[in-house]
Amino acid sequence: MATEQSLRTPAPAPGDTRIHNIGYRSYDGPRLGRSYARLSLYSQSLRGSYGLGRSVKSKVLPMLLFVVMCVPAAIMVAVAVATKAKELPLDYTSYAIVMQAVISLYVASQAPQSVSRDLRFKTVPLYFSRPIETADYVRAKFAALASALFVLTAAPLLVLYIGALLAKLDFTDQTKGFAQGLVSVALLSLLFAGIGLVIASVTPRRGFGIAAVIAVLTISYGAVSTLQAIAEVQSSGSDSAAIAWIGLFSPITLIDGVQSAFLGASSAFPGGVGPSNAEGVVYVLFTLGLIAGSYGLLMRRYKKVGL
Amino acid sequence: MIATESLSKRFPRVTALDRLSVDVGPGVTGLVGANGAGKSTLIKILLGLSPATEGRAEVLGLDVATEGAAIRERVGYMPEHDCLPPDVSATEFVVHMARMSGLPPTAARERTADTLRHVGLYEERYRPIGGYSTGMKQRVKLAQALVHDPQLVFLDEPTNGLDPVGRDEMLGLIRRIHTDFGISVLVTSHLLGELERTCDHVVVVDGGKLLRSSSTTDFTQTTTTLAIEVTDTDEHPDGTRAVRDALHARGVTVEDGRGLPGAGHTLLLTAQGEDTYDLVRDVIADLGLGLVRMEQRRHHISEVFKNNDASSDEQRKEAVGHGD
């Protein structure tokens, strides 16, 4: 307090040394209100998803996963350019499906980072004592994680696309594929962000959050693909309806179904047969329903947190 | 600043606030009550975060039920519990909180630097909060409540967990929030003693009911009592007695400070204006004694409560009547 006192009282000091009194200055500038606060929370969370503005340690994993996501795309492009291939070794829409383990790992590590920390360190009340409301918090966090996921999944597609153009592949073909890929990863980002956040927002413990997200994503995928394989063997490939309906029950097969029905993707389902158009509509509704549902659950969850 | 009118908050099993009507003006106001008396519930309602079961309340002239967002833009809130992430620096954290209050990026950074300096955080503000002492963390919590230059701050138990020195510093800081920064303060505590030094006005709640609301001067300045302590010399082996006799000779009634620290060596007398001080000084100088201390002894709020609250039950006195 001694130093504070001297700062406060403008005592004439001897000689040249002088302590300037910079008293309290009030703030008359603009107060940008709720939407600005929501945007600030969004950008802070988005940056945080890649460890920006946080410690070096927390940058390692997201950055590493980002690199792991992009390297195969770069290799494919290099191969395509070098061998003067007629087309890319992998479709734009298949990329995320092939790399689903990396995406799951990213959601599992960053969803708890985004929401569990606020719960654990009880920062949430500080947010809600400011102009923003529950909906603003949920939307900002949801949008931030979905954007982070979109960056993660769209970046390698961009690498593929630029590479394809460099390799002088057919422009319209490539652009169409790229656009379809972007729509598909946008849906995937929203879906995975929603599922990840709902799970992570239940627990203030980051470790539990990570484990739970990984468990939900991998177990559901494991169970669905096993059942689909069994269905394929039993129906001996003639009837793909059972395979399609089973595919509704894990996030990644859901996306696979949507894009093979409407986005010209070749399905990764056993037998390589995706859902028909009618089944595809159910897939789309199911996907949108899950996204809306996770938003609703998050709203309910944060209504209770309050102060 | 704050006005409530028969404000009630009932939870399924408890009544947190029971028809509380209170008016709080500008300045530093203490909200005193035992744990669970309804202090935090009141703050939540005043921030517009929790609807009241019945009654109404206004903060800065805004209705808490309908204009919560406008209120939260103009008030600051320092929670009772820990609320700081350990892996970011105080600067980063407070800048983020400033932006959450609507300050543009540049202003947020400037205000953060200013505010952290005012609460007494200097070089350490660039280090992660995890390594801070409790006192420093409390300062960061205070800084995030002040960073957007609110008109009013709610401080929920700001001295919790602090040692006596930290407690005094925090109370000094709270006083300065009003005198130097011009921000009104509503500070809660379960310790009546520490608020009497800091607050202009004290509101006492118990069991969600208003027990008393009045200014601190009403509580403590009914009489001015002087406490005097002197040294002994060879000539006057018992200096205290010598002074008492000399004062008696001049017609001043002097009491022994029984029950006070240093009893037997402390004299108490009622001051009748400036003359009394001069008289005491002259008497002691004539006797050739050293004056160790001469101070105004204010009554403690707790004493006032013991006298005025004879009707209330023992337990309540225990709860609110204890100083620190």
CA distance B154 to B175: 13
**Which of B97-106, B187-196, B216-225 has the lowest average pLDDT?**
B216-225
Interface confidence, given as ipTM, is 0.85
* Residue A12 confidence (pLDDT) above 70: no
CATH, residue B85: 3.40.50.300
Residue B187 pLDDT > 50, yes or no? yes
Same domain assignment for residues B42 and B131: yes
Confirm whether B215 is domain-assigned. yes
The CA-to-CA distance between both ends of chain B, in Å, stands at 28
Could A33 and B102 be called an inter-chain contact, meaning their C-beta atoms sit closer than 8 Å?
yes
Q: Which residues contact A304 (CB under 8 A, 6 or more apart)?
A: none
Model confidence at A42, in pLDDT bands (50, 70, 90)? very high
Asked, for residue B309, whether it belongs to a domain, the answer is no
Mean pLDDT, all residues of chain B = 84
Same domain? B208 vs B231? no
- Which amino acid appears at position A257 of this protein? G
B282 lies in some domain? yes
Q: In chain A, pLDDT over 90 holds for what percent of residues?
A: 64
Q: What are phi and psi of B89, to 5 degrees?
A: -80, 160
Interhelix angle A251-262/A277-305, rounded to 10 degrees, is: 140
Q: Which of A269-273, A275-279, B45-49, B128-132 has the lowest mean pLDDT?
A: A269-273
* Residue B145 and residue B275 in one domain: no
Instruction: Calculate the CA dihedral of residues B55, B60, B61, B63 and round it to 10 degrees.
Output: -40
Q: Are B90 and B133 in contact (CB under 8 A)?
A: no
Do residues A248 and A283 touch, judged by C-beta distance below 8 A? Answer: yes
Give the residue among A260, A252, A251 at the shortest CA–CA distance from A280.
A260
Structural Rg of chain A based on CA atoms: 25
How many domains does the structure of chain B reveal? Answer: 2
CB neighbours (10 Å) of residue A171? 10
User: Same domain, yes or no, for B215 and B244?
Assistant: no
pLDDT at A278: 86
* Same structural domain, B76 and B169: yes
- CATH code at position B262: 3.30.70
Question: B104 and B170: one domain?
Answer: yes
**One domain, residues B20 and B132:** yes
Contact A276, A244 (CB under 8 A): yes
Does any CB of chain A come closer than 8 Å to the CB of residue B51?
A: no
| Distance between B130 CA and the closest CA of chain A, angstroms | 11
Domain boundaries, chain A: 32-305
Q: Which H or E element spans position B18?
A: strand B15-24
Same domain for B213 and B256, yes or no, is no
B34 in the same domain as B182: yes
A281 compared with B207, residue with greater pLDDT? A281
Among A41, A126, A127, the residue to mutate for chain B (most B Cβ within 10 A):
A126
End-to-end CA distance of chain A: 32
Per-residue pLDDT tens for B72-130? 999 999 999 999 999 899 999 999 999 999 999 999 999 999 999 999 999 999 999 99
Which of A36, A126, A133 faces B97 most closely, judged by CB atoms? A126
Residue B170 shares a structural domain with residue B31: yes
CB A307 within 8 A of CB B79: yes
| Domain match, B47 and B143 both | yes
The answer, for B99 touching chain A at a CB cutoff of 8 Å, is: yes
Q: Quick check: pTM over 0.90?
A: no
Question: Is a pLDDT exceeding 70 seen at residue A10?
Answer: no
In a domain, B280, yes or no: yes
Q: Give per-residue pLDDT as tens, A157-203.
A: 999 999 999 888 889 999 999 999 999 999 999 999 999 999 999 98
Residues 6+ apart with CB under 8 A from A85: A79, A167
Domain residue limits at B284: 225-297
Which residues from chain B sit within 8 angstroms of residue A122, using beta carbons?
A: 79, 81-83
* Whether B72 and A30 lie within 8 Å, measured CB to CB: no
The answer as to whether B318 is a domain residue is no
In the stretch 211-240 of chain A, residues with CB closer than 8 A to chain B read none
Contact residues, chain B, for A58 at CB < 8 Å: 87
pLDDT of residue A63: 96
Contact yes or no for B88 and A132 at CB 8 A:
no
pLDDT at B312 over 80: no
Q: Is B216 helix (H, G, I), strand (E, B) or coil?
A: helix
Judgement on whether residues B39 and B13 belong to the same structural domain of the protein: yes
A30: nearest CA in chain B? B103
A20 neighbors A11 (Cβ within 8 angstroms):
no
Task: Retrieve residue B71's tokens.
Answer: 């209120």
pLDDT digits (tens, 9 = 90+) for B251-280: 777 777 665 555 567 788 777 767 788 888
Q: Which residue has the higher pLDDT, B251 or B24?
A: B24
Domain boundary among B220, B241, B261: B220
Q: What's the CA gap between A103 and A182, in Å, rounded?
A: 15
